[in-house]
Amino acid sequence: MGSLLDQAVLAHIGASATPRTELVTRRDIRKYAVATGQRLRRFIDGDVAPPLFHIALFWDVVELGELLPDGLSVDPLLPEFPLKRAMAGGWNIDYHRPIVPGDELVMTRTLSDIYEKSGSRGPLIFYELTREVHTRSGEPVLSEKITRILR
């Protein structure tokens, strides 16, 4: 099998997006807690953010017509891949400390790897994104690695 990944695609490995900064509010934590059915009072009261709160915090806000069929916005960090059907491949999050109201968080994203494998139904492309979230003063909050599979 010939490789689907040419040097133009592989050259994107190591590319990083412009860091994003977001202010965490008690109201945002409370809204997220209610929307996700949290039961612990510390989440409902907005004293501390529930797990996965950070994901939507850093999403682009775009018009509905700008969303892809999967509901996400176009990611300028990614190259044009020869395979288009995306699937979740894995997610690993290491929390270093809780997210609390008043935190000014800075998130950096890097396309850390792109590779190809042969699956039972044909070729697969894997890509990995790493995200690091720190406070404005540099205190680590969380690290994560997301793997997506294209077929």
Give the pLDDT confidence of 106-125 residue by residue, as tens digits. 999 999 999 999 988 899 99
Give the pLDDT confidence of 58-78 residue by residue, as tens digits. 988 889 888 877 777 888 899
User: Strands 122-135 and 104-119, how do they pair?
Assistant: antiparallel
Does residue 2 lie in a domain region? no
**Residues of the domain holding 66:** 7-150
Does residue 66 lie in a domain region? yes
What is d(CA 19, CA 104) in angstroms, rounded to the nearest whole number? 13
Contact 90, 146 (CB under 8 A): yes
Does residue 94 lie in a domain region? yes
Does residue 60 lie in a domain region? yes
Does residue 1 lie in a domain region? no
Does residue 15 lie in a domain region? yes
How many structural domains does the chain have?
A: 1
pLDDT for 67: 84
Does residue 52 lie in a domain region? yes
CATH of the domain at 146: 3.10.129.10
Q: Shortest CA distance to 133 belongs to which of 38, 76, 49?
A: 49
Share of the chain above pLDDT 90, in %: 79
For residue 67 the two structure tokens come to 């969303």
Does residue 30 lie in a domain region? yes
pLDDT for 20: 96
